[in-house]
Structure 1
């Protein structure tokens, strides 16, 4: 997730159990683009010890090929093409989810990348731009270019995060594709993870927002699938996570107000699992100092009760709290 699940976040979350592999923020690709150093750090200095997939977003075929060749000189195990980002600033430029309006261009891009990329080639997509009917036309294109892994977010671009996830489309991809398929969308607990795997038959899950809210989720999913008791952190453990997150993702080089503003990107997600009325989120969005922010968190988290950290209203119109953190 852009500007959120970055190198410092990876380093922190790995200590809570961590994912099996990580996908970088997207490298913006155009005729004059160069690899963003902050994102490249996630690949070159990978702090997780787990495989890393380098993600690209763009629509210019020669530039995507150039960037893919550069990235595969790093330690990335795969190059990922983003066909799913629903941010208007992205799709209006015919990138990310916007490419789903031009399957002929998708076909050309994948043909060029498949020829140029010697590591794994992966794709993340939504099920259409504004009409999921296009998904049936997309799947043969993906198969024809022999991609190595497909991740499907079960909504259209226009649905953003508002609708229920259409898991039947992910199941359809599992049925049709010759490569493994990863399910994405609204995985907010270990129980939900198990349900999504059962519904779709997917080979695995991609989790973004849920892992920001609950960094123990990867551990919990493994425990649940293994038939073990699922660990639930106490309020104070969640409070310590928030404190550690602040230290990890903000820099002393910038003013405190900007550090607090960056932290709100994360608290927008975490807050959905803290209390049901929205009062935490309402107050959090108005704090301007670290002291006020941490004091507010302590009001709700300084206790020893176990916390599921599930959103009190699943998704809770999370498009309203993205704060610029799109994928």
Structure 2
């Protein structure tokens, strides 16, 4: 099944992508990488361009300046091994991104969006996709942008069925996504509110989508790509594997901080874990986290 790990800022870093890779998604997308920051050689941004070890990973990029986007693609991105495509984000709803005329802000400036896509496509040595939303306010500007993106040369589209003003509230409009997929000639991937593999199957049943992107539904739940419910022992094994990868990538102090949100996500829905979550948020090192999880496992086996 064509299920992809959607890009999520602060989550789809190399550590989590390495975890998800074991569950064989059709592909994955990195966190957003600022082309303006890359242009000025920001060290944190350069680290985000570490070539992926997993297969079928696309690099998500964003920016507001067509010339800077083109320059970064030619001088930096084209030389990166491993990434199978460049995916331009034109859907992020974050205020600072929109204010900078990037992300969802480009729904309101489609001439600029067109030029960005056209220049990136002309410069790129691999496929170029565009990820956007249904609209900005209560409109369907995403349809217009999809048609403009196709005209500009985009190879595929990813559509989140919410408007920018909705952020992540309400429900993703899959009727709109399917309607848009029938309007364009390039592949379309749907995104929004996929929390079970059956929901993904239902969206793909219409046969008009090339695949489904899974975002929040995959956080703390990489098993969604195989449609399985893990045992507590398996869950803890993956948590510790993820933790070890984060410590190796970020260093111990930063790795612990980065993992806290992931640890909470892995614990979601488990029984009698309120105190365990509090303890995990206070833990200072790997051994303390391991012991907290093992004690919880023992308590569940022998209550």
Tell me which residue corresponds to 1:279.
Answer: 274
Distance 1:18 1:127, change over 3 A: same
Of 248, 251, 262, the match for 1:266: 262
Q: CA deviation at 1:123?
A: 0.6
1:114-161 Cα distance to aligned partner (Å, 9 max, x none): 322242111111112223322232222122123111111111122111
Distance 1:287 1:110, change over 3 A: same
Superposed counterparts of 1:140-155, under 5 Å: 140-155=147-162
Of 57, 71, 84, the match for 1:52: 57
Relative to the length of structure 1, the TM-score reads 0.78
Matched, 1:106 2:113: yes
C-alpha contact 2:15 2:249 (8 A) present in aligned 1:
no
Tell me which residue corresponds to 1:24.
Answer: 30
1:262-308 Cα distance to aligned partner (Å, 9 max, x none): 11121343233435x98368626742434554455446555899xxx
Distance 1:82 1:253 in 2: 25
Distance 1:192 1:186 in 2: 8
Unaligned runs of 5+ in 2: 1-7
Instruction: Using the TM superposition, name which of 175-184 and 74-83 deviates more.
Output: 74-83
Matched, 1:194 2:226: no
Superposed counterparts of 1:67-86, under 5 Å: 67-69=72-74, 70-75=76-81, 76-86=83-93
Unaligned runs of 5+ in 1: 221-230, 306-327
Distance 1:29 1:283 in 2: 38
C-alpha contact 1:184 1:206 (8 A) present in aligned 2:
yes
Of 217, 226, 247, the match for 1:219: 226
Distance 1:253 1:133 in 2: 40
Tell me which residue corresponds to 1:121.
Answer: 128
Question: Match of 1:289, SS?
Answer: coil
Tell me which residue corresponds to 2:3.
Answer: none
Distance 2:270 2:63 in 1: 37
Distance 1:240 1:55, change over 3 A: same
Distance 1:25 1:187 in 2: 19
Distance 2:208 2:265 in 1: 28
Tell me which residue corresponds to 2:216.
Answer: 209
Give the RMSD, CA atoms, in angstroms: 2.8
Relative to the length of structure 2, the TM-score reads 0.84
Structure whose residues are more often helix by fraction: 2
Tell me which residue corresponds to 1:243.
Answer: 240
Distance 1:280 1:163 in 2: 31
Distance 2:14 2:250 in 1: 17
Q: CA deviation at 1:102?
A: 1.3
Distance 1:105 1:267, change over 3 A: same
Distance 1:212 1:90 in 2: 23
